[in-house]
Amino acid sequence: MNTETRDRIATATTLLFVPGNRPDRFAKAASSGADLVILDLEDAVALADKDEARAAADRWLADGNQAIVRINAPGTPWSAADVAMAARHGCPVIVPKAEDAATLADLVALSGARCGLIALVETALGVERAYEVCRAPGVVRAAFGNVDLSAQLGTAPDDHTALAYARSRLVVASAAAGIAPPVDGVTTALRDLDALRTDIGHARRLGFTAKLCIHPAQLPGAARGFAPSPEEVRWAASVLAAGDSATAIDGHMIDRPVLLRAERILAAAAETPAAP
């Protein structure tokens, strides 16, 4: 995987799923404005359609289009063929049920190290092993699978309190492993923009910097939600304008970590596309 692809994965804010067995939707997804498109060969595809979905993704990528592929989980009958297909195109993959560093290393070897990995942490074991997963060979970024994890835990997928520990553990593990901040899970209410806004606000406070989206209607809200607010930009600009010698602004202490945070905010604001 080249540096450009790695950087695109690390800095993406919106990642849009499209079912792998719906090639009629691929072009629409690619033109939706999502930072990254995910061709989903796993949950969105019925068992009888797995081979058809892989073939459709293969054709799309062979035509020169770019995407990420969510493979079927390691150990399933389709996983190896999914990885081989992605490797032919040097295509990054999302690995569902990521919970074992050795398995992730095996996937890298199987792909000939051509496929960067997004580790989708969506099991209790994956949460408990989050650091090992995030530092496994080939892992560029982690993502949070709130729907699958909540099913295992017996909670609702939109229950922020029930999943706060898992989310925070993934944020901390990503930082400890030295990879990009993780991608938050889906908001299942497709067109409920208030629910989307609430979910993003919660995830952003915990340290997530991106969102898995399941409908194009969610993309604008996700992009705005993870962009620095005007107030944050003004604060960051005032901090940096004060210079390294400043010790306080508006009654708040200024030291090196605060300066670094201000720099990150202004860098993120510079990368945010202007509103139409």
Annotated binding-site ranges for Mg(2+): 122, 148
The answer to whether 6 and 203 have CB atoms below 8 angstroms apart is: no
Residue ranges for the known binding site are: 70, 122, 148
Residue ranges for the known binding site for substrate are: 70, 122
CA–CA gap between residue 217 and residue 213 (Å, rounded):
9
